[in-house]
Structure 1
Amino acid sequence: MQVFDRIISDRGSRYAVSGGAAGSRAEVAGLLADLRSVKRFAKATHHSWAVLLEDGIVKDDDGEAGAGQLIAQMLERAGLRGHVVIVTRWYGGKHLGGDRFRHVADAVRHYLRETGLG
């Protein structure tokens, strides 16, 4: 799994993005468990993610309404299948409104660019 930590900061909220190859829901669960086994990531407020599998899109907002769908749309546009992308947020105490979607999109773009997958 590749992790890019502390890539975005806004009004106290901090973002990271990570991901790796995942050809099944079980592999996604394993990658999420690995990420949450790191103390810093275990304390995060949200781990929103999506993956395009053979049987369709699998996603989870983890309380960040709409984030999983946004990640899935970006993966579809990039043609990236069998690879989960996870956007992690540590809530900073202030609501970000629509800016949170911009940050999720920026995090996914960062991941795709840095990994060369996009």
Structure 2
Amino acid sequence: MRIIEDIISDRGSKYAVSGAPCASEDEAKALIRELKRAKKFAKATHNTWGLLCAKGPVKNDDGESGAGVIILRMLERAGLRDHLIVVTRWYGGKHLGGDRFRHVQEAVRIYLRDLGLSADGG
């Protein structure tokens, strides 16, 4: 699993983004379990993820309501199928409001750039 840590920090909250080729929801759940074997990720407040696979879109907000949809939308725009993207957040004690969605978008952008893709389709 490709992991990019310490990418965003805002009011104490910290973000990481991870991903791997993945073809199903069951495989995605296994990859999340693997990610959480690292104590740091097991202790994260949210491990939000999205996947576009043959059976359709699959997401899990993990308590960060609405974040999974953002990941799915960005996967769609980039044309990235059968690839899991996980945005991890460690809550820093202060509410971020709508900024948290901007951070999820930026985390996915960073991951897509690392793959050599554009978040805007290409």
Separation (CA, whole Å) in 1 of partners of 2:113 and 2:87: 15
Separation (CA, whole Å) in 2 of partners of 1:54 and 1:99: 32
Structure 1 position 68 matched with structure 2 position 68: yes
* 1:69 alignment partner AA: V
SS of 1:62's equivalent in the other structure is coil
Report the Cα offset of residue 117 of structure 1: 3.6
TM-score relative to the length of structure 1: 0.98
Could you say which residue in structure 1 is the equivalent of 2:79?
A: 79
Report the RMSD for the aligned CA atoms in angstroms.
0.7
Could you say which residue in structure 1 is the equivalent of 2:55?
A: 55
Question: For structure 2, which runs of at least 5 residues remain unmatched after alignment?
Answer: none
Report the Cα offset of residue 12 of structure 1: 0.3
Separation (CA, whole Å) in 2 of partners of 1:3 and 1:43: 16
* Residues paired across the two proteins, number: 118
SS of 1:94's equivalent in the other structure is coil
Separation (CA, whole Å) in 2 of partners of 1:26 and 1:17: 20
Separation (CA, whole Å) in 1 of partners of 2:55 and 2:44: 29
* 2:55 alignment partner AA: D
Q: How does 1:1-118 map to 2 (within 5 A)?
A: 1-118=1-118
Report the Cα offset of residue 80 of structure 1: 0.4
SS of 1:81's equivalent in the other structure is coil
Separation (CA, whole Å) in 1 of partners of 2:25 and 2:117: 21
* 1:99 alignment partner AA: D
Q: Give the 4+ runs in structure 1 shifted more than 2 A.
A: none
SS of 1:106's equivalent in the other structure is helix
Report the Cα offset of residue 78 of structure 1: 0.4
* 1:5 alignment partner AA: E
SS of 1:37's equivalent in the other structure is coil
Question: For structure 1, which runs of at least 5 residues remain unmatched after alignment?
Answer: none
